[in-house]
Chain A
Amino acid sequence: MDLAYTEEEEEFRARLREWLAAVLPRLPAKPGPDDWPGRRAYDTAWQRMLYDAGYAGLHWPVDAGGRGATPTQHLIFLEETERAGAPYVGANFVGLLHAGPTIAAEGTAEQRARWLPPVLRGDEIWCQGFSEPGAGSDLAALRTRAVRDGDHYVVSGSKIWTSHAEVADWCELLVRTDPAAPKHRGISWLAMEMDAPGVTVRPLRTLAGSTEFAEMFLDEVRVPVSHRVGAENDGWRVTMVTLSFERGTAFVGEVVACRRTLAALAAEARRGGRWDDPVLRRRLGRLNAEFRALWRLTQWNVSEAQGTGGVPGTGGSVFKLRYSHARQELYEAAAEVLGADSADLDREWVLDRLSSLSYTIAAGTSQIQRNLVAERILGLPKGR
């Protein structure tokens, strides 16, 4: 058990810090939450800066245009960028963390050459067309149909919870290509152009008041067969391979952010005289234990991935379960610190409290995660 970083890793950290200190002051002002074109421009500009400095696709394999960094270097990158207050991955999320790695792992040489460089440069934005109104936790029950017509698929159906759909160029789309097959075996993975005829995007308003995601209606959209990644009807496996990768380090920056927020909450409590309340003080103390341990769990998972050649273990579900609840607890504590001001949407942490309600639902609900932990880690029998 070694928590010290090697000389090489510290060198990597030092260079990154230097670069962040030089470039972050040059960033333009952050756009408002509902300014989607502004958000796209901001996020892609940041991605371009990363690309030019050699930090784009850090953990992607070299033959996919990445830097082939170790999981530990990736961890340091996420830790330092968050610590420095650098922008989040934002609109680049699906391209960098999901569609891109899927294409890198399963795409042909032509597909990789067509789609990966624009993701790394921040030229193209991807969104995710997985969930449907009738297929949420039971994703494999999806019904959007793709029917072969010559060298095209004709796609009809609807998708939901599609983040960044308004500004995306491409959509990684799961479609049913064989309605007669068992539900996991009749699915294919397609790359769909968002400006193709028949694609309609309708923004959905979240309980926080913003339009974080959208509904997407597909009416006989023509997608070239050459835009299918992986074999026909093999889309479920193609997708699951990369979904498990995403869980390893997806929340590293957020744990760092939570620890910063917790320190700010303690400072705010002292300013407001609430620090003398032992119940509140100890609640914040307990959260400190929680986020410190989540950080250690991240290091544990990354070390494990390093030992297995990058394949993440089952620690992702354990982390996601605990983290999503802890983050909601953090903003509950923030509301207590704020007191009456917790009803003021313009106060820091109030919108975060609302946004955090999605954490136990998005990317696999806590209930689904518990099934995964019970069945895949503990080996309990599958239920019906």
Chain B
Amino acid sequence: MDFQLSDDQRALRAGVRELLAGRFGRDRMRAALDAGTGIDRALWRELGEAGFFALRLPEAEGGVGLGLPESVLLFEEVGRSLLPGPLIATHLAAGPVKGAAQGEAVVAVLDPGQSVAHLGEADALLVLGPGGAPRDAARVRDAADPVRSIDPFTPLWRIAGPVEADDPLPGGERLRDEGALLAAAEQLGSAARTTEMAVQHAGTREQFGSPIGSFQAVKHLCAGMLVRTELARCAVYAAAVTADPVEIAGAKLLADDAAVRNARDSLQVHGGMGFTWESDVHLHLKRAWLRSGQWLTAAAAEEVLAGDLC
């Protein structure tokens, strides 16, 4: 047993972090927010060239041939960076949906009963549930209404009627679990990032003649954030290694909790600045809220985990 990152995994994580910092650093992120331009197709293709979507496709099929743990490290970095778009669905669709692996096609996900994110720009849809068949996005779009989304980076569409499924995908039943795991990884990255932001602010912002991070009331909020992050990290990484549905449910539950609560505590530590549009904390919180409702909700995860006790 050696439950630590290997040297290759550390290198992969550093590489992805560098790539995202270069292509979607804070300035680019805020510019994209102000412009409201949606998915950057050029960046999407760059990610495709870097192997972002084809990470787990076999090398014989033009992929990178890595596994779930590596995907988790990649999506943890996505969560840190606030990079928008249906990256998880496109990653899962690499292979069955033409162009997804290369970043040519944008694939969104349709979970019956839920709003669909990025439907307006999607070329194809993964339908969750039995089969998880890809669908023609244009046909679904005709029967959908745009929602004014709480997350400025994530346009949402409400589907009016039932959606018929196309032919099921091979291995489609694993889609929800894998999507939940990768969403948990994004939540983990976000939780770690909002912790860093809070610590950075608390260490420099002075009140009463001292950095506010020297006050226990603030210090204890930050400590709580780290504890949530590290417990979620172990749950997410272990679930990536075992791919066990119960372990994935636990990982999603704890990572959702860490992302949402850490963003809220980080906002609190930032004080009045945390309540402004200019701060990035609200962007993390809003995305964390959305992800909590996607792939596997807390209620569903708790039922899976309760079922495991029988």
Closest beta carbon of chain A to B217's beta carbon, Å: 10
Are A3 and B238 touching (Cβ within 8 A)?
yes
A300 contacts which chain B residues (CB < 8 A)? 3-4, 233-234, 237
A293 in contact with B250 given A285-B302, A285-B309 (CB within 8 Å): yes
Select from chain A the residue with minimum beta-carbon distance to B225. A378
Are A380 and B199 touching (Cβ within 8 A)?
yes
The 7 A-B pairs of least Cβ separation, nearest first, read A285-B306, A289-B250, A285-B305, A266-B309, A285-B302, A282-B302, A374-B219
Are B219 and A375 touching (Cβ within 8 A)?
yes
Are B215 and A383 touching (Cβ within 8 A)?
yes
The stretch of A47-55, A57-65, A82-90, A301-309 in contact with B is A301-309
B222 contacts which chain A residues (CB < 8 A)? 374, 378, 380
Question: Is A206's CB within 8 Å of the partner chain B?
Answer: no
Closest beta carbon of chain A to B111's beta carbon, Å: 20
Are A289 and B249 touching (Cβ within 8 A)?
yes
**A373 CA to B225 CA, complexed, in Å:** 10
A381 in contact with B211 given A285-B305, A288-B305, A303-B3 (CB within 8 Å): yes
Are A285 and B303 touching (Cβ within 8 A)?
yes
**A262 CA to B310 CA, complexed, in Å:** 10
**A296 CA to B202 CA, complexed, in Å:** 30
Select from chain B the residue with minimum beta-carbon distance to A9. B1
Select from chain A the residue with minimum beta-carbon distance to B299. A282
Are A4 and B1 touching (Cβ within 8 A)?
yes
Are B231 and A370 touching (Cβ within 8 A)?
no
Are A293 and B235 touching (Cβ within 8 A)?
yes
**A85 CA to B215 CA, complexed, in Å:** 44
Q: How many residues of A contact B (CB 8 A)?
A: 55
Contact with B along A256-284 (1 / 0, CB 8 A): 00000011011000100000001001111
Are A322 and B214 touching (Cβ within 8 A)?
no
A289 contacts which chain B residues (CB < 8 A)? 235, 249-251, 253-254, 301-302, 305
Q: Which of A351-381 contact B (CB under 8 A)?
A: 367, 369-371, 373-375, 377-381
A185 contacts which chain B residues (CB < 8 A)? none
The stretch of B45-53, B150-158, B172-180, B239-247 in contact with A is B239-247
Are A297 and B231 touching (Cβ within 8 A)?
yes
Q: Which of B270-310 contact A (CB under 8 A)?
A: 299, 301-310
Are B213 and A381 touching (Cβ within 8 A)?
yes
Select from chain A the residue with minimum beta-carbon distance to B220. A370
Are A380 and B231 touching (Cβ within 8 A)?
no
A318 contacts which chain B residues (CB < 8 A)? 226-227, 230-231
Question: Is A1's CB within 8 Å of the partner chain B?
Answer: yes
What is B's interface to A at a CB cutoff of 8 Å? 1-6, 9, 69, 195, 199, 202-203, 210-211, 213-216, 218-220, 222-224, 226-227, 230-235, 237-238, 240-242, 246-247, 249-251, 253-254, 299, 301-310
Closest beta carbon of chain A to B140's beta carbon, Å: 32
A263 contacts which chain B residues (CB < 8 A)? 309
Are B220 and A374 touching (Cβ within 8 A)?
yes
Are A374 and B213 touching (Cβ within 8 A)?
yes
**A367 CA to B210 CA, complexed, in Å:** 21
**A382 CA to B211 CA, complexed, in Å:** 10
Are B220 and A5 touching (Cβ within 8 A)?
no
**A296 CA to B306 CA, complexed, in Å:** 19
**A4 CA to B233 CA, complexed, in Å:** 18
B6 contacts which chain A residues (CB < 8 A)? 1
A380 in contact with B202 given A5-B1, A285-B309, A297-B231 (CB within 8 Å): yes
Select from chain B the residue with minimum beta-carbon distance to A71. B1
B303 contacts which chain A residues (CB < 8 A)? 278, 281-282, 285
Are A306 and B199 touching (Cβ within 8 A)?
no
**A367 CA to B216 CA, complexed, in Å:** 9
Are A382 and B250 touching (Cβ within 8 A)?
no
Enumerate 15 A-B pairs (CB-CB under 8 Å) in ascending A order. A1-B4, A1-B240, A3-B1, A266-B310, A270-B310, A285-B301, A296-B234, A299-B234, A302-B1, A370-B224, A374-B213, A378-B222, A378-B223, A381-B211, A383-B214
A381 in contact with B214 given A289-B301, A375-B219 (CB within 8 Å): yes
**A348 CA to B65 CA, complexed, in Å:** 51
Are B250 and A2 touching (Cβ within 8 A)?
no
Report which of A1, A266, A370 forms a contact with B5, defined as CB distance below 8 A: A1
Are A371 and B234 touching (Cβ within 8 A)?
no
Are A307 and B4 touching (Cβ within 8 A)?
yes
A286 in contact with B3 given A3-B241, A380-B203, A381-B210 (CB within 8 Å): no
